[in-house]
A and B are shown apart, each in its own frame.
Chain A
Amino acid sequence: MDWSFLAFVIFATIAILGSLMVILQKTPVSSAFSLVLVFFSFAGLYALLGAHFIAALQILVYTGAIMVLFVFVIMLLGQDEKTTDIKDTSLLFKGVTTLGAIGLLSVFLRAVMGSKEIVAKGQYSEEKIKELGGNLQAISEVLFKDYVFHFELVSFLILGAIVATVALAKRKNTYSGEYHE
């Protein structure tokens, strides 16, 4: 058996089972740790696709930064009690959701079927990337030549996120209505 296929099967199984565990676990902490599993297996899938830079970034950004944020917030909120909090919804809502899910599924199936007819027209084939000196070199060439303006715009987004988070954190409790238990 092909090794890369074996790796794909392992990573894909961990990804799907882990994401099922994320939404089915009762405590948020176990959901968070299942999410770590999913992120690691996604990094493996990126590496299988030849996107080595994205795989490294996935581990750095998601497992490193975002998961620490999540676990930290779970610690702050003290959310360690078990909750069986599946929403009880009306029949109309269930019907609309089912219809929407069927529509989404057909769009996905169309995309998956259509992916077989795609003709590779871009210039960055595997040989070209190898010639340039690897995935990271090729990405940085595209990023800092064609997309440098967008790259700078993203820094404004991060600045906005920082300002928003600080404003949220410094806000005093101003709501004085009644709370529903």
Chain B
Amino acid sequence: MNEPWMMLIVACTVFLIGLMGVIFRKNLLIVLMSVELMLNAVNLSFVTFSKLHNSLEGHISVLFVMTVAAAESAVGLGLVIALFRTLKTADSDQIQILRD
């Protein structure tokens, strides 16, 4: 007996864990990984609600979210590499070029 609310609880937990990672970690790579966690959690809730509504629009949204996630991680990691080449660090607290 797989109840949909249990899937939603898993999605909420993983989303909140990802949010904590984005807020509290300094390493940019781990921040990007936490963003991927959040996107995955949202995908899971999309699929669950899609099953609840007997509709396939949620699956289509998941397809688009996956494309956006792939593009986002490609551009984000390119940014991290460019920052690392300039500042020699992947620490988000050390990036303060605009301040001085």
Contact = CB atoms under 8 A, between A and B. Distances in A.
Interface of A: 2, 4-5, 8, 12, 15-16, 19-20, 22-23, 28, 31-32, 35, 38-39, 42, 45-46, 48-51, 53-54, 57-58, 61-62, 65-66, 69-70, 73-74, 76-77, 79, 83, 85-87, 97, 101, 104-105, 108, 111-113, 115-116, 118, 120-125, 138-139, 142-143, 147, 150, 154, 157-158, 160-161, 164-165, 168-169, 171, 173, 175, 177-180
A174 to B, nearest CB: 8
B90 to A, nearest CB: 6
Contacts of A122: 53-57
Nearest to A168: B78
B56 A38 contact: no
Contact of B47 (A51, A157, A161): A51
Contacts of A85: 25-27, 91
Contact of B73 (A66, A120, A180): A66
A118 B52 contact: yes
A62 B81 contact: no
A164 to B, nearest CB: 5
> Chain B, interface size: which category?
35 or more
Contact of B100 (A45, A79, A139, A177): A177
Given A22-B33, A65-B70, A66-B73, A104 B40 contact: no
A77 B81 contact: yes
Interface of B: 1-2, 4-10, 12-21, 23-27, 29-30, 32-34, 36-37, 40, 43-45, 47-57, 59-60, 62-64, 66-75, 77-82, 84-88, 90-91, 93-94, 96-97, 100
A115 to B, nearest CB: 6
A42 B97 contact: no
A12 B90 CA distance: 31
Contact of B30 (A23, A42, A104): A23
Nearest to A124: B56
Given A12-B10, A77-B29, A139 B66 contact: no
B30 A62 contact: no
Contacts of A165: 74-75, 78
What are the 7 tightest A-B residue pairs by CB atom distance, in nearest-first order? A122-B55, A23-B21, A161-B71, A120-B54, A122-B54, A85-B26, A168-B78
B44 A16 contact: no
A42 B40 contact: yes
A125 B79 CA distance: 43
B26 to A, nearest CB: 4
